């Protein structure tokens, strides 16, 4: 499913984000930036050891050894990936919604898009952030993600945004949320 927003495109796809050829892919990272499971591990494996080395440097130099805060974003090279860049963002762990999880998830999308635009990136692919081991409900996450992306794309010219979803179930939930969003 693909729609146009203010001269930009937003598309939903099912597949492997590490195979995307957009200018950047977004990594649902852990705060250490040292790789983990799920999307994070897959991106690190596909990109090769140079990504880990750059992440260590970013953590040491930019973050002064601290963890990347939830909702924030940093950029690295893509190395062995088809994408030239990886934007790393840490999604919130779902605790029932009482700990600003919705705001923090929106921050992940918004900050990643702002960082992409600041680096002249014209196409980007996102996974469904926080809906795996962080247990964020997919239906709610899809509404937040798509609303955040639409708000950003409505602000001006960016390019192409792809939501690269892992399963038919996730695709169906995102498609339903996108259809509702288009009707608003």
The catalytic residue positions are 40
Residue 168 · residue 128 · CB < 8 Å = no
DSSP characters for 78-136? -TTSSSSEEEEEBPPPPSSS-SSHHHHHHHHHHHHHHHHHHTT--EEEE--TTSSTT--
Distances (CA, A) of 107 to 5, 92, 145: 20, 10, 9
- Using CB atoms within 10 Å of the CB of residue 13, give its burial: 0 to 12 exposed, 13 to 18 middle, 19+ buried: middle
Euclidean distance between CA atoms 106 and 148, whole angstroms: 6
User: Closest Cα partner for 111 from 72, 58, 62, 61?
Assistant: 72
């Amino acid at each position: 499913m693909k729609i146009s927003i203010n001269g930009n495109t937003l598309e939903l796809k099912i597949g492997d984000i590490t195979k995307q050829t957009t200018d950047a892919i977004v990594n649902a990272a852990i705060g250490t930036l040292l790789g983990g499971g799920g999307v994070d591990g897959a991106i690190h494996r596909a990109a090769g050891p140079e990504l880990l080395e750059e992440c260590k440097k970013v953590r040491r130099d930019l973050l002064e050894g601290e963890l990347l805060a939830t909702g924030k974003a940093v950029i690295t090279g893509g190395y062995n990936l088809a994408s030239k860049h990886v934007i790393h963002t840490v999604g919130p762990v779902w605790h029932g919604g009482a700990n600003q999880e919705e705001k923090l998830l929106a921050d992940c999308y918004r900050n990643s898009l702002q960082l992409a635009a600041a680096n002249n990136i014209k196409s980007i692919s996102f996974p469904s952030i926080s809906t795996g081991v962080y247990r964020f409900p997919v239906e709610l996450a899809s509404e937040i993600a798509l609303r955040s992306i639409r708000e950003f794309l409505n602000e001006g010219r960016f390019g192409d945004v792809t939501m690269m979803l892992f399963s038919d179930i996730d695709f169906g939930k995102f498609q339903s949320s996108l259809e509702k969003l288009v009707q608003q």
